[in-house]
Amino acid sequence: MDYLEIEGNNKLSGTITIDGAKNAALPLLAMTILSQSEVKIENLPRVNDVFTMLKLLENLGASYSFEGNCAKIDASSIHNTTAIYDIVRKMRASILTLGPLLARFGKCEVSLPGGCAIGQRPIDLHLKALEMMGAEIVIEQGYVRATAPEGLKGTTIVFDKITVTGTENIVMAAALAKGETKIINAAKEPEVVQLCEVLNASGVKIEGIGSDELIIHGTEQKLLTIDTISVIPDRIEAGTYLCAGAITNSEITLKKVNHTHLFAIILKLQEMGFDFDLGQDSITIKPAVKTKGTKIITSEYPGFPTDMQAQFMALALVAEGASSIDEKLFENRFMHVSELIRMGANIILSNHTATVEGNNELNGADVMATDLRASSALVLAALVAKGTTKVHRIYHLDRGYVGLEKKLQQLGAKVKRLKE
């Protein structure tokens, strides 16, 4: 297994380019199941989760090519409707094949994704919504076995909780259903918006895109023709590098970003003392004269993203003042805390709230990555820790960040990728 060795206490400088958004790419790849012909997807990030989803589609019978950041997927030849445990266990977003497979074939079996480090991650809301659309669902031997012999029918669905992949699954199921499906309390993340915009441009009329109430007019199992797609920039990758600039109090520039997706992150960094120059599709973070602590409460988009909580905790450690961080979405998304404490951090946890002392003197240590975003928080802390830090189990990082160590090297960080 690989690990990162990072020498701390260096300023960063320079410019890097942000890749396409993993969490937009995954539903778009699942959506190709609804297409009658080859779909071309550009700006596709070369991260492990994308490779896993391509492998899953191939296992179902689709064919694909993936050169550079462009993939061509032909799902018209899919003949197998079972998403197997061995692939699904590697990536819970495989559940995104459930809606499209059921909508197109009237039956499918998808392995239950299981929980992960940050929480139990149930899919009850996905399943309840599909049942309301006429699906019969049985859970046995760790699989969701779904059938809809008469096809899925449009109906009104109210999500008890806002769920990103739940909304995406139902939007894709409704795309081929008979009649109109109204989703109330839908997720509004930019990644959900892109999926809706692509479907809307492919013959599935969708009203309310970007709002929490969507109306999807199904094609009654008529497969789609989908034009070339370019995946939106990854707002979490961009936010992570903005935190790298902030934590080292450096000036760095990110290219190929969409600022409108970054408002919550930018405003929080401004509150902490940092300033920004915004270009057409670039952003430069400027060093702070004085920083201060902050209060973070994670919430659904457009609120502060839970996927940036760990990174901001690392930044809060070196702010000149205390911070508090409330994680409202996941029950166990503080796995990075114990590792940061091993680096000398003063953090007190009580239930879903972390109280973070500022002005911490961090020291390099051997630390263990536990999940994708927690791993990036450890890397950020290592950039300012005294001495050397080794971040182990960085396969978590490779799931969602393209060449993180290379981009940090480009910015002048002293980081090496080594073998255990």
Alpha-helical regions (H) of 44-93: 48-60, 85-88
Q: What's the min distance (Å) between Cβ of 219 and ligand EPZ?
A: 25
Pick the closer one to ligand EPZ by CB: 43 or 250.
Answer: 43
Pick the closer one to ligand EPZ by CB: 125 or 408.
Answer: 125
Pick the closer one to ligand EPZ by CB: 93 or 347.
Answer: 93
Task: Tell me if residue 255 falls in helix, strand or coil.
Answer: strand
Q: What's the min distance (Å) between Cβ of 87 and ligand EPZ?
A: 15
Q: What's the min distance (Å) between Cβ of 144 and ligand EPZ?
A: 12
Tokens describing residue 92: 């819970």
| Active site (annotated) includes residue 108 | no
Start-to-end CA span in the chain (Å): 6
Partners of residue 415 on adjacent β-strands: 6
Residues that bind ligand EPZ (CB under 6 A): 23, 26, 93, 119, 121-126, 161, 163-166, 306-307, 329-330, 372-373, 400
Q: What's the min distance (Å) between Cβ of 298 and ligand EPZ?
A: 9
Task: Tell me if residue 117 falls in helix, strand or coil.
Answer: coil
Whether the link from the prior residue into 305 is cis, omega within 30° of 0, is no
Q: Considering 70, 116, 196, 243, which one is annotated as catalytic?
A: 116
Show the CA angle centred on residue 130, arms to residues 124 and 135, nearest 5°: 120
Give yes or no for a contact between 405 and 416, defined as CB atoms under 8 angstroms apart. Answer: yes
Pick the closer one to ligand EPZ by CB: 254 or 372.
Answer: 372
Q: What's the min distance (Å) between Cβ of 138 and ligand EPZ?
A: 17
Pick the closer one to ligand EPZ by CB: 167 or 323.
Answer: 167
Task: Tell me if residue 411 falls in helix, strand or coil.
Answer: coil
Nearest to 16 by CA among 264, 307, 265, 241: 241
Show the CA angle centred on residue 59, arms to residues 57 and 62, nearest 5°: 50
Residues marked active site are found at 116
